A and B are shown apart, each in its own frame.
Chain A
Amino acid sequence: SLSLSLSLKMAPTLPEYSKTVKPNYVKLGYQYIVNHFLSLLLVPILLSILTEVLRLGPDGLLDLWISLHFTPIQILCSSFFTLYIATLYLMSKRRTVYLVDYACFKPPSHLRAPFARILEHARMVLGSKSESLAFQYKIIERSGIGEETCVPPIMHYIPPEPNMQLAREEAEMVIFSAMDSLLKKTGLSAKDIDVLIVNCSLFSPTPSLSAMVINKYKMRSNIKSFNLSGMGCSAGLISIDLARDLLQVHPNSNAVVVSTEILTPNLYTGTERSMQLPNCLFRIGGAALLLSNRWSDSRRAKYRLSHIVRTHKGADDKAYRCVFEEEDPEGKVGISLSIDLMTIAARALKSNITAIGPLVLPASEQLLFLATLIGRKIFKNKWKPYIPDFKQALEHFCIHAGGRAVIDELQKNLQLSAEQVEASRMTLYRFGNTSSSSIWYELSYIEAKGRMKKGDRVWQIAFGSGFKCNSAVWKCNRNIKTPADGPWNDCIHKYPVDIPEVFTL
């Protein structure tokens, strides 16, 4: 049987990724020059024009004008032409999409699942000698998940016996709670919603969850509703992408996006090791967001959407199969994760970074990257690859809290500091892996800590089955006061906590 050790192992300190204490003046100078190249170029030109104008004086300018011999027709045409170009430009410009506000579901404390209870129940259902039990024990020990995470009501039973009614009840609890909170925060009336997108990967009843929301809140009959299912943990950003595209087509509209994952129908009751991980890491959670392209919201919106980049590696067979829902040899349905998951994730991340780099990185970093790339080609990989410093471009990072390994891997790949991944680690600890909504809990953490300032840029990265890596960059639109409500409001003062490497029971 399992031995129960009493000692608490001390956490090894995370390697320090933030580098030089002394600022590198050469590098700073280079960055300043390259990033502000155009303005630096413009200054001498403007100066010379100004000196010329001053030299000519008002009379000289009038003489210059008369000498051009413009007829009234020419003047009229050129003005119309200018106006036409300006209007064309303004109309074809992408509408700015604002994130007015968002609300996260705060699970009530009576759904709490402490480790002792999880393992005791697993023991009773699987038997004390079971190998899967020992495996689950190991996963939970090292998961980086804390003792306050919550699971839906049916999972407190021995054995859990889910049914469709209970799955709907969980969906109602999570989604309606987040929606109520969002409507209250934004003062939005349900009848005012133009687009509704709900994403929930593993529970897709008929009528859809979006229909459930429309029914509950009595929304308009001409609402544009969408329900995305099967798209994994990155579906939240896919929904935002869809909302953004719709808001380009429909002027003066808003869109509500609901991201959640319903756990009740998806408990895996078998013994396949590759299918155990989702059982141990997934927790109940959800978020509702309000997006808008209305000019009237531009003042009060919290963020504006800068970029969304979606990378899909599904063309590669291995990537396609690395997160796969199937029946195990006993006929029980579970989601199996392949051993190559981290490698494939790293590859997908690289593709995504390559796409998003040019959009967000300042010119200085891009030049360096290009130079290193050319150098590597010429000198046949003798040069080390240059990892662009994303900290130059982005102030905050929200890495989907898929698991401790995911956060560790990304921290290493992007060379992020402990503080930059703090939001992700603490969300994993406090709320577990809530799938597509976890990036919103993380954003909420950053706001609750008072770190979000106007002009700050946030990078949200999410991975999902398929295999997909999606990322979104938001720019903070106004100074955000520490919110009085929100999932962290009663406990933010306790964080950050030191998460032990191995949790002992």
Chain B
Amino acid sequence: LSLSLSLSTMVSTHVENPVYDVRLSSVVPGRVTGEDKVQELTNMDLMMKLHYIRGLYFFKSEAVQGLDIFDLKEPMFQWLDLYYPTSGRIRRQSENGRPFIKCNDGGVRIVEARCNKTLDEWLAMKDHSLDHQLLYNQILGPDLGFSPLVFIQFTWFKCGGFSVGLSWAHILGDIFSASTFINMWGQITAGHVSPQSLNMPNTRKYEFPPSTAKKPFSLKRVDPAGDYWLTANNCKMETHSFHVTAKQLNHILSKTFGLSKAANKFPPFEVLSALMWNSLAKIRGEFEPRIVTICNDNSQSRENDFSSNGQVISIVEADFTVMNANLLELAALIGEKRVDERRMIEELEERENGKSDFIMYGANLTFVNLEEANIYGLELKGQKPVFANYTIAGIGDEGVVLVLPGPEDSEHGDGGSNGRTLTVILPGNQISELKNELREKWGIF
């Protein structure tokens, strides 16, 4: 694929193209990483290779007042010194073709663009269907050795508002890692220098007892991707974000639990997942999802650890009809009856040894718990983003629901809990029905 082709797929062929004046450049670590430094990829990393994380942060103009592109780029050199594997490139081992990252300082790609809408106009569009123009459509391959693992797009809006679009290959780490990575950039920009470098564990394979040889439900086998790491969908997938305000969240929680003592037993993620599961089951009718995949944060060892694919991946199986179930039942199922599949996934990759390729997100309907992700932690000039969102590209047809923290609700002054952002990536026809369902039943837009 030549450069011009990727650029044209990134910018839509919509009649009026709001994003223009696109320029590409690269940023490398400030210090030489050194020859022959490599980052091994664990089995879990390789399982995620067909998925791509896209994070989008919107800022008001005060956050970047007086800052030009150089002020934004300059802290990156020190930042990439800390995270030097992100500047590397994929190579394959000569013996078995197993991919690894060669830390050769190829750098991260920076995209600069302008938008002819104001920030408020863009956010008012609500459907976020054009958000992909603020992000680079990153795909690793067909030249794996020359594909950057991270793209960052800076877009200036007509009013001076600003967006940061992070495109991150899932092979590097999960959304928690990506979010920590970009937050660190914000900290260095503000002058909070982190003196110690991060732990770079070289071998992160953990030993476990010999195989159970069971196939995990959370994965789906796909055609071998070769050197072009993208999976094809059978239908057109679309993205939409629902905003659940704190008030609506409380309403949902109270409606679910009623006055029973079960109130607040389940965190909002489980209730909201139950809600979505129930709604989608109704929409899909006879094809209702009985098995869903749940991704949770493995909060044990994140401090100062380099990015990793450390999520807990579990499945939940319902042995009853989902569309008729009540939320409490489903939330209980999600909360208590999860089956951790990480070992099975690791063993499968070990056995397969790269012969087949798999996807995890969208193999079943997947719910990703990002409540603990500090996505509003990216601050520029002391300003938090007015809105932050994450999606995942390269997912399966069953779809993905991400439960993210919502923007700070300054109007209601409720310092305690914020709302939630529910981002869904589903087949297009299901999205419109889902919108109706949520609006009518729960008042969620």
Residues of A within 8 A of B (CB): 1, 4, 6, 8, 109-110, 112-117, 120-121, 123-124, 127-128, 146-148, 153, 156-158, 505
Known: A121-B26, A128-B143. A116 touches B32 (CB 8 A): no
- Do A124 and B31 have beta carbons less than 8 Å apart? no
- Apart from A120-B26, A505-B104, what 12 extra A-B contacts exist at CB < 8 Å? A6-B91, A8-B35, A8-B36, A109-B77, A110-B74, A110-B77, A112-B28, A114-B32, A114-B105, A117-B28, A121-B26, A128-B143
Shortest CB-to-CB span from B94 to chain A, Å, is 7
Residues of chain A within 8 A (CB-CB) of B146 are: 120, 123, 128
A23 to chain B, nearest CB (A): 41
A148's partner among B2, B32, B36, B145 (CB-CB below 8 A) is B32
Q: How many A-B residue pairs have CB under 8 A?
A: 66
Could you show 17 A-B contacts with beta carbons less than 8 Å apart? A1-B143, A112-B28, A113-B28, A114-B32, A115-B104, A116-B104, A116-B106, A117-B26, A117-B28, A117-B107, A120-B26, A120-B148, A127-B2, A156-B25, A158-B25, A158-B26, A505-B104
- Docked complex Cα distance between A8 and B35 (Å): 9
Chain A hits for B70, CB < 8 A: 153
**Cα–Cα, bound, A153→B110 (Å):** 13
What is the chain B residue whose CB lies nearest that of A3? Answer: B145
- In whole Å, how far is A493's beta carbon from the nearest beta carbon of chain B? 15
Measured between beta carbons, the chain A residues less than 8 angstroms from B27 are 110, 156
Closest to B112 in A: A157
Min distance, Cβ A470 to any Cβ of chain B, angstroms: 34
Q: Is B355 an interface residue (CB 8 A)?
A: no
Given contacts A6-B91, A109-B30, contact A114 B2 (CB under 8 A): no
Chain B residue numbers with a CB within 8 Å of A128 are 143, 146
A124 x B3 contact (CB < 8 A): yes
Beta-carbon nearest neighbor of A125 in chain B: B3
* B94: nearest chain-A partner, CB-CB: A6
Residue of A nearest to B107 (CB): A117
Cα A4 to Cα B74 with chains together (Å): 31
- Contacts A8-B35, A156-B26 hold; do A114 and B104 have CB atoms under 8 A apart? yes
B-side residues, CB < 8 A to A, are 2-3, 23-28, 30-32, 35-36, 70, 73-74, 77, 89, 91, 94, 104-107, 143, 145-146, 148
- Residue contact B2 to A117, C-beta cutoff 8 Å: no
Nearest CB of chain A from residue B56's CB, rounded to whole Å: 23
Assess whether B25 is in contact with A157, with CB atoms less than 8 Å apart.
yes
Determine whether the beta carbon of A158 is less than 8 Å from that of B3: yes
Q: How far is the CA of A356 from the CA of B362 in the complex (A)?
A: 78
Smallest CB gap from A123: residue in B:
B146
Query: Top 8 A-B pairs ranked by shortest CB distance?
Result: A114-B105, A109-B30, A116-B106, A116-B104, A157-B25, A158-B24, A110-B77, A156-B25
Compute how far the CA of A1 lies from the CA of B146 in the bound complex, rounded to whole angstroms: 12
Chain A minimum-CB-distance residue to B23: A157
Contacts of B143 on A, CB cut-off 8 Å?
A: 1, 123, 128
State the CA gap A146–B91 with chains docked (Å). Answer: 22
A117 and B3 form a contact (CB under 8 A): no
CB pair B145 A4 closer than 8 Å: yes
Give chain B nearest CB distance to A126 CB in angstroms. Answer: 11
A117 and B36 alpha carbons, distance in the complex (Å): 16
A158–B104 alpha-carbon span in the complex (Å): 19
- Residues of A contacting B107 with CB < 8 Å? 114, 116-117, 120
B23: chain A residues within 8 A (beta carbon): 157
Instruction: Give the distance in Å from the alpha carbon of A124 to the alpha carbon of B77 in the complex.
Output: 22
Known: A1-B143, A109-B31, A109-B77. A114 touches B25 (CB 8 A): no
Q: With the chains together, A79 CA to B256 CA distance in Å? A: 121
Residues of chain A within 8 A (CB-CB) of B2 are 127
A369 CA to B146 CA, complexed, in Å: 57
B92 to chain A, nearest CB (A): 10
In the docked arrangement, what's the CA distance between A430 and B70, Å?
24
Q: Please, how many angstroms separate the alpha-carbon atoms of A8 and B106 in the complex?
A: 18
Which of B24, B73, B91 has the most CB atoms of chain A within a 10 A radius of its CB? B24
Q: CB-nearest residue of chain B relative to A503?
A: B35
User: Closest CB-CB distance, A98 to chain B, in whole Å?
Assistant: 38
On whether the beta carbons of B24 and A110 are closer than 8 Å, the reply is no
A117 in contact with B106 (CB, 8 Å) = yes
CA distance A296 to B91 in the complex (A): 62
Contact A117 B77 (CB under 8 A): no
Is B3 a contact of A114 with CB atoms below 8 Å? no
